[in-house]
Amino acid sequence: MAEMSDVFFVDGMRTPFGRAGEKGMYWNTRADDLVVKAIIGLMERNGDVPKDRIDDVAIAATSQTGDQGLTLGRTAAILAGLPMTVPGLAIERMCAGAMTSVTTMGASIGVGMYDVALAGGVEHMGRHPIGANADPNPRFVAEKLVDPGALNMGVTAERIHDRFPHLTKERADRFGMASQHKAQAAYEAGKFQPDLVPVAIKDAEGAWGLATEDEGRRPETTLEGLASLKTPFRPHGRVTAGTSSPLTDGATISLLAGSAAVKEFGLAPKMRMVSFAFAGVQPEIMGIGPIPSTEKALKKAGLTIDDIGLFELNEAFAIQVISLLDHFGIADDDPRVNPWGGAIALGHPLAASGVRLMIQLAAHFAERPDVRYGLTAMCVGLGQGGSVIWENPFFDGKKKRK
């Protein structure tokens, strides 16, 4: 008989993230090949896990078409050299695709149906811009179910500024600048590099190269420079390219396992899943979605926001993160929040980003035995939020050392 099990995040890796479009490093690289590289890298690093014992492979993509369509989990598993006995599936929850891959596989492990699973996501926004092949039902607008602006993420970010006037453009600019500076400091300290899988790339002239770093970083960012940027989503608006995540290509993958598999294969998990939740909000102001999803996840875990010692929040827009921090009474510059920067600097390849948050939180946990619980959370297009609470297996109950 299957038994309920703890769910562990054993390991995670990702490709470097590239700028979307013809000038980006992945313009001549297929989306499915990005996933394949990530899977190969993760399995090589976790050689004690027999490939034929993987119960399922869940890969998310927002635009499930072309080279990121065709039951991506299954096709990527085959291309990565996993046995034909390993099944796979595709998942779609826009920005929370990879997060949903993890919670779906995690739930399957938790109820004892699976022992080991891979979960991740990919987005090639250069090849597949968000919504490019979508055909939204005209009833959404005709019956006023959703405002047309709700399909433009930047417009929804402007509306958070409208709703909360005290969340000013200056605060958002400062947050965006801090993300760039923190990401650069983390790169210089070698924090990201261990979990990046190098990807062979080919430029427009056919010359080969190697992608080893996130491409979109702008460490030279200043407040003065941000103040002068255009506001593309509204005349005299407050959201700019400097306070938004750039259009990005990239893939992420994680290895999840239950208690029995951890023991059988002698694994050393990096995190334990405590709870997760998704929530819906008005699509017109989708950025507040992580607030109710976090409240639900905290309630299910029997915790409060004060129990969370580290936060990895997806920076779709600076204003979106600031709205969550403001709701929970957390300062914009709280050192617990995105210690190595976030999507404003690193990029946000939609369906891949959830596992990027988890990879970073796991790395923080290893350095911070004084922290017991951490949160990964993100807003989701069409008015949703997703949150996962994790426990640090290295927690020793001692206060942070000076």
Active site residues: 95, 348, 379
Assign residue 382 a region: left if phi > 0, alpha if psi is -120 to 50, beta otherwise? left
Residue 162 in any domain: the answer is no
Structure confidence at residue 402 as a pLDDT band (50, 70, 90): very low
d(CA 267, CA 102): 18
d(CA 154, CA 285): 10
Residue 351 in any domain: the answer is yes
pLDDT the model gives residue 205? 85
pLDDT in tens, 313-345: 999 999 999 999 999 999 999 999 999 999 999
Q: Which of 117, 126, 129 is nearest to 17 (CA)?
A: 126
Residue 384 in any domain: the answer is yes
What are the strands, taking DSSP E only, across 153-293?
A: 199-202, 208-211, 248-258, 271-280
Query: Is the pLDDT assigned to residue 386 strictly greater than 90?
Result: yes
- Over range 118-131, report the average pLDDT: 94
The DSSP secondary-structure symbol of 352 reads G
Total domains in the fold of the chain = 1
Query: Is the pLDDT assigned to residue 141 strictly greater than 90?
Result: no
Helices 318-327 & 169-188, crossing angle to 10 degrees? Answer: 100
Query: Is the pLDDT assigned to residue 7 strictly greater than 50?
Result: yes
378 neighbors 121 (Cβ within 8 angstroms):
no
Instruction: Give percent of the chain with pLDDT exceeding 90.
Output: 91
d(CA 140, CA 149): 11
Own/partner pairs for 134-141, CB < 8 Å, 24+ apart?
Answer: 134/63
pLDDT in tens, 79-109: 999 999 999 999 999 999 999 999 999 999 9
Residue 201 in any domain: the answer is no
Query: Max CA-CA distance within the chain?
Result: 63
For residues 396 and 204, which has the higher predicted lDDT (pLDDT)?
396
d(CA 279, CA 224): 37
pLDDT in tens, 275-312: 999 999 999 999 999 999 999 999 999 999 999 999 99
Structure tokens at 57: 């492979």
1 neighbors 260 (Cβ within 8 angstroms):
no
CATH of the domain at 32: 3.40.47.10
The SS3 assignment for 300 reads: helix
Own/partner pairs for 76-84, CB < 8 Å, 24+ apart?
Answer: 76/32, 76/35, 76/36, 76/39, 77/39, 77/118, 79/32, 79/33, 79/36, 80/35, 80/36, 80/39, 80/40, 80/43, 81/40, 81/51, 82/39, 82/43, 82/51, 82/54, 82/57, 83/51, 83/52
d(CA 109, CA 91): 17
Query: Is the pLDDT assigned to residue 12 strictly greater than 60?
Result: yes
351 neighbors 62 (Cβ within 8 angstroms):
yes
Pairing of strands 373-380, 116-124: unpaired
Residue ranges making up the domain that contains 322: 7-127+246-390
Query: Is the pLDDT assigned to residue 132 strictly greater than 90?
Result: no
Query: Is the pLDDT assigned to residue 356 strictly greater than 50?
Result: yes
Cβ neighbours of residue 137 closer than 8 Å, sequence gap 6 or more: none
Residue 336 in any domain: the answer is yes
Helix or strand (DSSP H, E) at 389: strand 384-391
Residue 226 in any domain: the answer is no
Instruction: Give percent of the chain with pLDDT exceeding 70.
Output: 99
Residue 356 in any domain: the answer is yes
pTM beyond 0.75: the answer is yes
Structure tokens at 250: 């990239």
Query: Is the pLDDT assigned to residue 30 strictly greater than 80?
Result: yes
Residue 185 in any domain: the answer is no
Listed in sequence order, the DSSP H helices in 231-375 are 259-265, 290-301, 318-327, 343-346, 353-367
pLDDT in tens, 205-242: 889 999 999 998 999 999 999 999 999 999 999 999 99
pLDDT the model gives residue 401? 55
Structure confidence at residue 258 as a pLDDT band (50, 70, 90): very high
Own/partner pairs for 167-172, CB < 8 Å, 24+ apart?
Answer: 167/319, 167/322, 167/323, 167/326, 168/238, 169/238, 169/243, 171/318, 171/322, 171/332, 172/238, 172/239, 172/243, 172/317, 172/318, 172/319, 172/322
What's the gap between Cα 354 and its chain centre?
A: 2
- Over range 365-383, report the average pLDDT: 97
d(CA 229, CA 334): 26
Cβ neighbours of residue 189 closer than 8 Å, sequence gap 6 or more: none
